[in-house]
Amino acid sequence: MNELKNDRYLRALLRQPVDVTPVWMMRQAGRYLPEYKATRAKAGDFMSLCKNTELACEVAMQPLHRYPLLDAAILFSDILTIPDAMGLGLYFIDGEGPCFHQPISCLTDVQQLPTLDPENELRYVMDAVRAIRCELAGSVPLIGFAGSPWTLAAYMVEGGSSKNKDFTKIKKMMCTEPKTLHLLLDKLAESVRLYLNAQIKAGAQAIMIFDTWGGLLTTEGYQTFSLQYMHKIVDGLYRENDGRRVPVTLFTKGGGQWLEEMAKTGCDALGLDWTTDIAHARHRVGDKVALQGNMDPNILYGSPERIRQEIATILGNYGEGNGHVFNLGHGIPQDVLPENVEAFVKGVHGLSRQYHQSVNDILAPSGTILLS
């Protein structure tokens, strides 16, 4: 594998010195880019795009071609590839999101779920990882990812996106058939562990677990049905590959109240949504983990000046020192202007340099960081 030319993102996740705060965006390869829309039209539909190695690689690279200051690439895929490979029959409806032909409704359904071999049933994902790593040629790290067991289960039991976002079916199962739900979550945790380890072996250099719906739960429910299963996954992941540490980031949308407990899982970083103050978050977790986030994605509808103002506020709130990856608090909206994204990416690098002065004081004339 090629040696990394820009490892800011990995350094920041490991709370090591960097010259500027690294930046990438959740859903950075996506519908806000006209070139993405053209490639998706060529593929025919979303899942066909995900399963086409050449096109999945193309869309993963598109934001880096347009915004060369991005500090990481992310695998182009979907969090629901695992339930699809388990036979639930994933499909997408415009305006409604993901749906399943065969949702989970009872214990028998859970018992019949197969154990996955990622290099078999999900080979197209691993092929995409390998292709993107090759195309990156060591320019920036590649992020692999999966959905959390709770989030996957929420979609699987509901049969797709809950129209009112209440997810009442899985909450009913949680209250009336907890053993069935725990069996489902246990199976999913093992599948996610295998899936992420296969991504690491294929070339992913950092891992992120998206717990999109963990914030629906009570504190006790979160500990019992979400966090403990993410903890199992973290415990079972390869943490080194190609001679480097493979950092792991946990992101629970709406999970700002549980940061201390999340940090105890052994992960390297926590993702923050925009409802959590990053200064308070840093104070709470100390130097245990890095933090990723957390600009409100809607700020990208504003002017370049407004975007820079918000970047400056977040950087100032985090303060000097290591351990911050700049990102949005959730995925980028599909109708954001691409030029606003450019202002965002440039703004993070330009405004953050002052917070890493100790590193910039030892820069070589070429701008290369003189660190091992």
Q: Which pLDDT tens digit goes with each residue over 253-293?
A: 999 999 999 999 999 999 999 999 999 999 999 999 999 99
CA distance linking residue 71 with residue 20, whole number of Å: 10
Question: Looking at residue 367, what is its pLDDT?
Answer: 42
pTM: 0.94
CA distance linking residue 292 with residue 253, whole number of Å: 12
CA distance linking residue 260 with residue 256, whole number of Å: 9
Q: Identify whether 9 is a catalytic site residue.
A: no
Lowest mean pLDDT among 75-79, 108-112, 162-166, 216-220: 162-166
Identified catalytic residue from 78, 211, 268, 273 = 78
* Domain 8-360 = CATH 3.40.50.880: no
Instruction: Write down the mean pLDDT value for the chain.
Output: 94
pLDDT band at 365 (very low <50, low <70, confident <90, very high): very low
Question: Looking at residue 129, what is its pLDDT?
Answer: 98
Question: Looking at residue 92, what is its pLDDT?
Answer: 86
Question: Residues 60-82: what's their mean pLDDT?
Answer: 97
Domain locations in the chain as residue ranges:
8-360
pLDDT band at 362 (very low <50, low <70, confident <90, very high): low
What is the Cα gyration radius of the chain? 20
pLDDT band at 360 (very low <50, low <70, confident <90, very high): confident
Question: Looking at residue 160, what is its pLDDT?
Answer: 85
Please say whether the beta carbons of 235 and 261 come within 8 A.
no
- Mind giving me the DSSP string for 143-178? EEEEE-HHHHHHHHHHTBS-TTS--HHHHHHHHH-H
pLDDT digits (tens, 9 = 90+) for 91-134: 888 767 899 999 999 999 999 999 899 999 999 999 999 999 99
> Known binding site for substrate: residues?
27-31, 78, 155, 212, 330
Identified catalytic residue from 9, 155, 195, 355 = 155
Question: Looking at residue 1, what is its pLDDT?
Answer: 53
Q: Which of 83, 81, 91, 78 is nearest to 110 (CA)?
A: 83
Q: Which residue do the tokens 């493979």 mark? A: 246
Question: Residues 56-76: what's their mean pLDDT?
Answer: 98
pLDDT band at 368 (very low <50, low <70, confident <90, very high): very low
CA distance linking residue 223 with residue 239, whole number of Å: 24
For the chain, percent of residues with pLDDT exceeding 70: 95
Q: Identify whether 31 is a catalytic site residue.
A: yes
Question: Looking at residue 361, what is its pLDDT?
Answer: 67
Question: Looking at residue 371, what is its pLDDT?
Answer: 38
Answer with the residue of higher pLDDT: 371 or 115.
115
> Known binding site: residues?
27-31, 78, 155, 212, 330
Q: Is 364 left (phi over 0), alpha (psi -120 to 50) or beta?
A: beta
Question: Looking at residue 335, what is its pLDDT?
Answer: 96
pLDDT band at 42 (very low <50, low <70, confident <90, very high): very high
Q: How far is CA 123 from CA 62, 195, 233, 246, in A?
A: 23, 10, 20, 21
Q: Identify whether 239 is a catalytic site residue.
A: no
Question: Looking at residue 357, what is its pLDDT?
Answer: 84
Question: Looking at residue 163, what is its pLDDT?
Answer: 62
Question: Residues 220-235: what's their mean pLDDT?
Answer: 98
Please say whether the beta carbons of 207 and 97 come within 8 A.
no
Edge to edge, what strands does the sheet with 248-252 contain? 73-74, 142-147, 206-211, 248-252, 269-271, 290-292, 324-325
Q: What are phi and psi of 175, to 5 degrees?
A: -85, -35
Q: Identify whether 123 is a catalytic site residue.
A: no
Question: Residues 24-43: what's their mean pLDDT?
Answer: 96
Q: Identify whether 40 is a catalytic site residue.
A: yes
